[in-house]
Chains A and B, each alone.
Chain A
Amino acid sequence: GDSVTQMEGPVTLSEEAFLTINCTYTATGYPSLFWYVQYPGEGLQLLLKATKADDKGSNKGFEATYRKETTSFHLEKGSVQVSDSAVYFCALSASGGSYIPTFGRGTSLIVHP
């Protein structure tokens, strides 16, 4: 079945550091890929998405590129802020799974001033 693997956290960075959170996937067909962010005590917010190979999703300084050859969708940000501290979930959605998202385990990001 479909699966998503994320790097284990927590990831601890200083403000203005470069962020990478790795995400790889296995899926039949051609999934759409997503990054969601969850701030403490809140639900999930869509951060960015990509629906086909080589697409780049971007939002709020975060970027991720859909790499079919490496089955990856790594999340990056050039300069993190304290307010970026949250849990980040990588997910995929595919027709074979009736478009019900498959989530990774989540990666906690802690940014220190």
Chain B
Amino acid sequence: GAVVSQHPSRVICKSGTSVKIECRSLDFQATTMFWYRQFPKKSLMLMATSNEGSKATYEQGVEKDKFLINHASLTLSTLTVTSAHPEDSSFYICSARDPNNEVEQYFGPGTRLTVT
């Protein structure tokens, strides 16, 4: 099946700094990628939909100035957590959609962010 990678897998940063997480589709071109946040023992919460070459669409309650999303190419989307705070600590997961198979999404392995 299609492969999606995320980098880094774990990151620890200090409060007030910014952190960038990369999501790459390795063997297909993804016009649409998605960013999710998962709290401990909870389901995935969709944060935003990232479309190549255009602005991301954020879900209600997600601060677009805090969670900057860039989808500059058909194989790369980035999520930047700006001025991170401890409450931003979470597991962030991206997924990508193959335009030849809209029904299914392919998930990355996730990034564990810890803000100290």
Name A residues whose Cβ lies closer than 8 Å to a Cβ of B: 32, 34, 36, 41-46, 49, 51, 89, 93, 99-101, 103-106, 108
B24 within 8 Å of A (CB atoms): no
Q: B84: shortest Cβ distance to chain A, in Å?
A: 20
- B residues lining the A interface (CB < 8 Å): 1, 6, 34, 41-44, 46, 49, 93, 95, 97, 102-110, 112
- Residue pair A104, B43 in contact (C-beta under 8 Å): yes
A-B contacts, 13 of them at CB < 8 A, read A32-B103, A34-B104, A36-B107, A41-B112, A43-B110, A44-B107, A46-B1, A46-B106, A51-B103, A99-B97, A100-B34, A100-B46, A103-B44
Instruction: Say whether A44 contacts B93, CB under 8 Å.
Output: yes
Chain B residue numbers with a CB within 8 Å of A34 are 104
Known pairs A41-B112, A43-B109; A103 contacts B103 (CB<8 A): no
The docked-state distance in angstroms from the alpha carbon of A93 to that of B98 is 14
* From A36, A51, A89, A99, residue with most partner B Cβ within 10 Å: A99
Please report the number of residue pairs spanning A and B whose Cβ atoms sit closer than 8 angstroms. Answer: 47
Asked if A106 and B109 make an inter-chain contact with CB atoms under 8 angstroms apart, the answer reads: no
Complex CA distance for A73 and B4, rounded to whole angstroms: 26
- List chain A residues, Cβ under 8 A from B104: 32, 34, 46, 49, 93
Interface residues of chain B: helix, strand, loop or mixed (majority): strand
CB distance from A5 to the nearest CB of B (A): 12
Q: How far is the CB of B102 from chain A (nearest CB, A)?
A: 5
Which residue on chain A has the smallest CB distance to residue B106?
Answer: A46
CB distance from B105 to the nearest CB of A (A): 6
Given contacts A46-B1, A99-B97, contact A89 B109 (CB under 8 A): no
Given A43-B108, A46-B106, A89-B43, 4 further pairs, Cβ under 8 A: A43-B110, A46-B104, A46-B107, A101-B105
| Cβ-defined contact, B103 with A105, below 8 A | no
Kindly list chain B residues whose C-beta atoms are within 8 Å of the C-beta of A46.
1, 104, 106-107
B66: shortest Cβ distance to chain A, in Å?
Answer: 21
